[in-house]
Amino acid sequence: MSDWGAPLPELTGLSEAQAAERLRQHGPNELPQAARRTGWRIAAELLREPMLQLLAAAGAIYLVLGDVGEACMLLAFVVLSMLISLVQESRTERVLEALRDLSSPRALVLRGGERKRIAGREVVPGDLIVLEEGDRVPADARLLSANDLLTDESLLTGESVPVSKVVWAQGQAAARPGGDGQAWVYAGSMVVRGQGLAEVTATGTRSEMGHIGVALRQIESSQPALQQQTRALVKTFAVAGVTLSLLMTLIYVWTRGDVLAAVLAGISLAMSLLPQEFLLILTVFMAMGAWRISQQRVLVRRASAIEALGTATVLCTDKTGTLTLNRMSIVAMQVPGQTWLAQDEVSGPLSPALRTLLQHGILASERDPFDPMEKAFWALGAQCLSAEEVTHLEWKMVHEYGLSPEMLAMSHVWRAPGQDRHVIATKGAPEAIADLCHLDAVRLAEVRQAADVFARQGMRVLGVARSTHRGPDAHSSWPALQHDFDFEYLGLVALADPLRPTVRDAVQVCREAGIHVAMITGDHPVTALAIAAQAGLDVQGGVVQGEDLAALSDEALRERVAQAAVFARVMPEQKLRIVKALQASGHVVAMTGDGVNDAPSLKAADIGIAMGARGTDVAREAAAMVLLDDDFGTITQAVRSGRRIDDNLRKAMAFVLAVHVPIAGLTLLPLLMGWPLLLTPVHIAFLELIIDPVCSIVFEAEPEERDIMRRPPREPGRPLLTRAMMGWSLLQGLLVLMIVAAAYAWLLHQGLDEASARVGGFLSLVAANVVLIMGNRTFGGQILVAAFKPNPALWRTLAATIALLALVLAVPVLRGLFKFNLPDAYTAQIVGLVALGTMLVLQALKAIRSPSGTSKRESCA
pLDDT in tens, 552-566: 998 999 989 888 899
In angstroms, the CA 374 to CA 329 distance is 9
As a dihedral over the C-alpha atoms of residue 771, residue 773, residue 778, residue 779, rounded to 10 degrees, the angle is 80
Q: What is the pLDDT, as a whole number, of residue 378?
A: 92
768 near 838, Cβ under 8 Å?
yes
In angstroms, what CA-CA distances link 215 with 90, 574, 703? 19, 11, 41
Q: What is the pLDDT, as a whole number, of residue 860?
A: 37
DSSP 791-822: -HHHHHHHHHHHHHHHHHHHSHHHHHHTT---
Residue 703: name the closest of 643, 744, 766, 758 by CA. 643
Q: What is the pLDDT, as a whole number, of residue 270?
A: 66
Tell me: the pLDDT tens digits for 503-537?
Answer: 999 999 999 999 999 999 877 788 888 889 989 99
**Does the annotation mark 318 as catalytic?**
yes
Q: What is the pLDDT, as a whole number, of residue 100?
A: 46
Query: Strands 314-317 and 409-415, how do they pair?
Result: unpaired
Tell me: the pLDDT tens digits for 426-478?
Answer: 999 999 999 999 999 999 999 999 999 998 888 889 999 999 988 766 555 78
Residue 249 has pLDDT above 80, yes or no: no
Q: What is the pLDDT, as a whole number, of residue 263?
A: 66
pLDDT band at 368 (very low <50, low <70, confident <90, very high): confident
Mean pLDDT of 128-156: 86
pLDDT band at 628 (very low <50, low <70, confident <90, very high): confident
How far out from the chain centre does Cα 346 lie?
A: 39
Q: Which residue has the higher pLDDT, 301 or 324?
A: 324
Residue 750: name the closest of 835, 827, 667 by CA. 827
Residue 762 has pLDDT above 90, yes or no: yes
In angstroms, the CA 176 to CA 62 distance is 63
In angstroms, the CA 424 to CA 404 distance is 18
Q: What is the pLDDT, as a whole number, of residue 103?
A: 44
Residue 489: name the closest of 514, 462, 507 by CA. 462
Residue 4 has pLDDT above 60, yes or no: no
Q: What is the pLDDT, as a whole number, of residue 326?
A: 76
422 near 469, Cβ under 8 Å?
yes
List the single range of 11-20, 412-421, 795-804, 835-844 with lowest mean pLDDT.
Answer: 412-421
Residue 490 has pLDDT above 90, yes or no: yes
Q: SS3 for 15?
A: coil
Number of H helices, E strands in the chain: 32, 22
How far out from the chain centre does Cα 29 lie?
A: 30
In angstroms, the CA 47 to CA 51 distance is 9
Q: What is the pLDDT, as a whole number, of residue 634?
A: 86
Mean pLDDT of 601-619: 79
Q: SS3 for 143?
A: strand
Q: Which residue has the higher pLDDT, 17 or 55?
A: 17
- Across the chain, what does the average pLDDT equal? 81
Q: Which residue has the higher pLDDT, 440 or 672?
A: 440
Residue 240 CB coordination number (10 Å): 16
Residue 388 has pLDDT above 80, yes or no: no
Residue 347 has pLDDT above 50, yes or no: no
Q: What is the pLDDT, as a whole number, of residue 562?
A: 84
Q: Which residue has the higher pLDDT, 118 or 418?
A: 118
Highest mean pLDDT among 101-105, 367-371, 656-660: 656-660
Tell me: the pLDDT tens digits for 83-126?
Answer: 655 564 445 445 435 544 544 567 889 998 888 888 888 999 99
Q: What is the pLDDT, as a whole number, of residue 859?
A: 36
Q: What is the pLDDT, as a whole number, of residue 135?
A: 82
Q: Which residue has the higher pLDDT, 88 or 576?
A: 576
List the single range of 121-135, 282-296, 457-471, 733-747 with lowest mean pLDDT.
Answer: 282-296
Q: What is the pLDDT, as a whole number, of residue 451?
A: 92
Q: What is the pLDDT, as a whole number, of residue 7?
A: 42
In angstroms, the CA 609 to CA 626 distance is 5
Highest mean pLDDT among 149-163, 186-200, 686-700: 186-200
pLDDT band at 6 (very low <50, low <70, confident <90, very high): very low
Q: Residue 414 pairs with which residues in a beta bridge? A: 397, 423
Residue 38 CB coordination number (10 Å): 8
In angstroms, the CA 649 to CA 225 distance is 14
The active-site residue, picked from 67, 140, 318, 523, is 318
29 near 203, Cβ under 8 Å?
yes
Residue 351 CB coordination number (10 Å): 14
Q: What is the pLDDT, as a whole number, of residue 857?
A: 42
DSSP 2-65: --TTS--TT---B-HHHHHHHHHHH--SSPPPPPPPPHHHHHHHHHT-HHHHHHHHHHHHHHHT
Q: SS3 for 310?
A: coil
Residue 650 has pLDDT above 90, yes or no: no
In angstroms, what CA-CA distances link 393 with 68, 237, 411, 815? 79, 80, 18, 91
Q: HEC string of 687-719? A: HHHHHHHHHHHHHHCCCCCCCCCCCCCCCCCCC
The H or E element containing residue 423 is strand 421-428
pTM over 0.85? The answer is no
Q: HEC string of 507-547? A: HHHHHHCCCEEEEECCCCHHHHHHHHHHHCCCCCCCEEEHH
DSSP code for 471: S
Q: What is the pLDDT, as a whole number, of residue 24?
A: 92
Q: Which residue has the higher pLDDT, 15 or 598?
A: 15
